[in-house]
Structure 1
Amino acid sequence: MVPKSFVLLFLVSSVLAVEPGFAGDVEIVGATARENGGNWTISVTLRHADTGWNHYADLWQIQTPEGYVLGERVLLHPHVDEQPFTRSLSGVEIPRDLENVIIRARDNLHGFSLETYQLALPR
């Protein structure tokens, strides 16, 4: 007979092992926003356990709090030896009434991370 506590521990660890949003997701370390002539430059720092072309952080997005995509930066190659890394996107049009935007990131194996990053706009 297997103790109930062992069965419970096994079930919990099994769920956590396959739950998206844990190991393997892209971590958004930080982000900055700078306005220039009515448009914005957004810089985002990511950390991810890139292993090569089969598994790497491949995109981040700027969204409104409602989920409308204002811009995205496609990452064209793995950053195996450059962690964390920062990339910028210029010319982003952000509506004047927004005080914050949401940053989302994804990798090419797991898709979008459950983690988001709220960036306050310096207006």
Structure 2
Amino acid sequence: MRLLLILSFFTSSVLASKFDVDTYSSSLDFAQVTDVLVTKKSSDSWCFGTSVRHNDQGWEHYADGWEVIDLEGNQLGYRKLHHPHNNEQPFTRSQCNIKIPAEMSKVIVRAKCNKHGFGGKPMVVELSKN
């Protein structure tokens, strides 16, 4: 039984599919990525200016971060948001020095809130190699 469980885990990891960008909630109870400006800084370092919209309601419920992930869902970078933005919607925050392997041409940016986690609309971003 234990061997079957280990094999099942290994098989599911090897056959993992791409991250699903089409299943999300458009409700503002979830943090929504509305725009991303990406700039290449060096051979493998990038800056992301990410705009997020969320129904922030003070410290009880607010957008508290966004991340850059590869197409399989592996985290490449994270931007912590340290406070609510009740009266600033949507808002944009940047994060630089995000390392992205040279062979990647697309990444996904998604935001989260402190109450519901991830689940809002992510954005697929094409990386310009120029």
Q: Who is 1:21 aligned against?
A: 25
Q: CA deviation at 1:115?
A: 2.2
Render the CA deviation track for 1:68-121: whole Å, top value 9, x for unaligned: 100100000000011110001010110001111001111011111242210111
Q: Does 1:35 align with 2:20?
A: no
AA matched with 1:58: D
TM-score, structure 1 length as denominator? 0.80
Q: Which amino acid aligns with 2:57?
A: T
The code of the aligned residue for 1:21 comes to S
**Number of residue pairs the alignment of both structures matches:** 104
Q: Could you list the runs of 5+ residues in structure 1 that have no partner in the other structure?
A: 1-19
**Relative to 1, partners in 2 of residues 1:36 and 1:22: Cα closer, same or farther, differing over 3 Å?**
closer
Q: Structure 1 residues 45 and 114 mapped into 2: Cα distance closer, same or farther (>3 Å)?
A: closer
Mark the CA change 1:80 to 1:32 in structure 2 (over 3 Å): closer, same or farther: same
**RMSD of the TM alignment (CA)?**
1.2
Flag as ranges the 4+ runs of structure 1 deviating above 3 A: none
Task: Flag the structure with higher strand content.
Answer: 1
TM-score normalised by structure 2 residue count: 0.76
Structure-1 residue corresponding to 2:13 = none
**The residue matched to 2:118 in structure 1 has which SS?**
strand
Partner of 2:124: 118
For residue 55 of structure 2, what is the amino acid of its counterpart? A
The percentage of counterpart residues that share the same residue type is 37
Comparing 20-29 with 104-113, which one deviates more in the overlay? 20-29
CA distance in 1, matches of 2:26, 2:90: 18
SS in 2 for 1:50: coil
Amino acid at match of 1:67: G
Which range moved further: 107-116 or 41-50? 107-116
Quick check: 2:26–2:32 contact (8 Å CA) kept in 1?
A: no
Displacement of 1:33 in angstroms is: 0.9
Q: Distance in 2 between matches of 1:78 and 1:98?
A: 33
Does residue 79 of structure 2 align to residue 73 of structure 1? yes
Decide which of 85, 90, 98 is 1:92's aligned counterpart: 98
Structure 2 unpaired stretches of 5+: 1-23
- In 1, the alpha carbon distance for the partners of 2:50 and 2:98 equals 13
